[in-house]
Amino acid sequence: MRGRFITLEGVEGSGKTTNLEYLCETLKEKNVSFIKTREPGGTELAEAIREAMLAKWQEEITGLTEVLLVFAAREQHLKNVIRPNLERGTWVVCDRFTDATFAYQGEARGVDTEIIERLEQWVQVDLYPDLTFFLDLPPEESESRIAGREKDRMESENRDFFQKVRSGYIRRAKGHKRYCILDASRPLEEVVSDLRHQLLNFVQENS
């Protein structure tokens, strides 16, 4: 049986990295064979694209350039990591995927959604996540959680940008059954407990 594809989404500082660790612990407990990866990234070239994407440049980087960069990285990631693992029955847990492109480049940068949909079909063909955890956090809380760290190009955007990103995620979450929305403004133990409960149900249904 093909492995299951689980993604985590949310604005900066919403707790994806933190919750990913608990998610992986739960899969280990249940003896599910899995790999953990991230986007943009997950392969040598895709990680180099990530670096270029998040670096600060003197020239203007358009939203469409960002779309093309993340889909180039995604093609490498799908071909060399995600598909082969899923095909051999290994589950794939990924920190961000195409929902991020719709939220960041589509909603926040204003790139035509049709372009993103076409690339999604072209690059992914019939591959979509089976389960997506969306860690929902208001931008002001996101700001305070990442305050003090050196910010990359995306993290340096303003609150209005992250408000749009959040709205983009909420819009997509409402349209897709695979989404599990978690209120990430709660204490971490509550978020983790909720995530664990949903994940255990999913593992039971898919084993």
How many CA atoms lie within 13 Å of 82's alpha carbon, on the beta-carbon side?
30
Please give the residues from 179 up to 198 whose contact with ligand T5A meets the rule CB under 6 A.
184, 187-188, 191
96 binds ligand T5A (CB under 6 A): yes
107 binds ligand T5A (CB under 6 A): no
16 binds ligand T5A (CB under 6 A): yes
61 binds ligand T5A (CB under 6 A): no
Q: Taking CB positions, which residue lies at the least distance from ligand T5A?
A: 15
Q: Among 70, 111, 116, 180, indicate the residue that binds ligand T5A (CB under 6 A).
A: 70
Binding track, positions 135-174, relative to ligand T5A; x by CB under 6 A: ----------xx-------xx-------------------
- Of 101, 199, 188, the closest CA to residue 137 belongs to 188
Q: Contact region for ligand T5A (CB under 6 A) — 16-24, 27-35, 121-129, 197-205?
A: 16-24
Q: b or e along 146-174 (b: 16 or more beta carbons within 10 Å of the residue's beta carbon)?
A: eeeeeeeeebebeeebbbbbbebbeebbe
Task: Please report, as ranges, the residues that interact with ligand T5A according to CB under 6 A.
Answer: 10, 12-18, 39-40, 66, 70, 95-96, 100-101, 104-105, 145-146, 154-155, 184, 187-188, 191
